[in-house]
């Protein structure tokens, strides 16, 4: 069973979002997503300053198996990317909710994360998807 921390928000496209409380959000892919994709070999991150609407493809994670788009969880602008992933894409597998984060963004609406799934709803969604 994959790990789903209760302090994060989630999307149905398997991104997680942490509200840092300073007006920024950190975004990564869930433990379930990294497990499904397998060993990561390449991560393509957005440009800092780039603006995205919720649901836009904004990054790519490539595993040995396949390339997968990562979608912006909310409307906003990218403020920082995880440079360590250029040389160590395996961090996404090893620590998806920690050192394997992908990028940070400044949301257009301050309460945008409220619309995302909480841990329980995401767990239910995974359960549904499995059947």
3-state secondary structure 39-106: CEEEEECCCCCCEECCCCEEEEEEECCCEEEEECCCCEEEEEECHHHHCCCCHHHHCCCCCCCCEEEE
41-80: contacts with another protein (CB under 8 A): 41-42, 44, 60, 62, 64-67
What is the nearest approach in angstroms of another protein to the Cβ of residue 64? Answer: 5
- Select the span of 34-42, 48-56, 100-108, 120-128 touching another protein (CB under 8 A): 34-42
Does 38 bind another protein (CB under 8 A)? Our answer is yes
Does 121 bind another protein (CB under 8 A)? Our answer is no
Does 98 bind another protein (CB under 8 A)? Our answer is no
102 neighbors 70 (Cβ within 8 angstroms) = yes
What is the nearest approach in angstroms of another protein to the Cβ of residue 127? Answer: 19
């Amino acid at each position: 069973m994959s790990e789903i921390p209760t302090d994060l928000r989630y999307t149905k496209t398997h991104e997680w979002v942490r509200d840092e409380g300073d007006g920024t959000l950190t975004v990564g892919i869930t433990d379930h997503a990294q497990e499904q994709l397998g060993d990561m070999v390449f991560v393509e991150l957005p440009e800092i300053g780039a603006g995205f609407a919720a649901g836009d493809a904004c990054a790519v994670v490539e595993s040995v198996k396949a390339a997968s788009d990562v979608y912006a969880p909310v409307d906003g602008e990218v403020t920082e990317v995880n440079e360590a992933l250029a040389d160590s894409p395996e961090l996404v597998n090893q620590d998806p909710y920690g050192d394997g984060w992908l990028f940070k963004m400044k949301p257009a609406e301050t309460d945008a994360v409220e619309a995302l799934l909480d841990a329980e709803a995401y767990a239910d969604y995974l359960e549904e998807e499995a059947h």
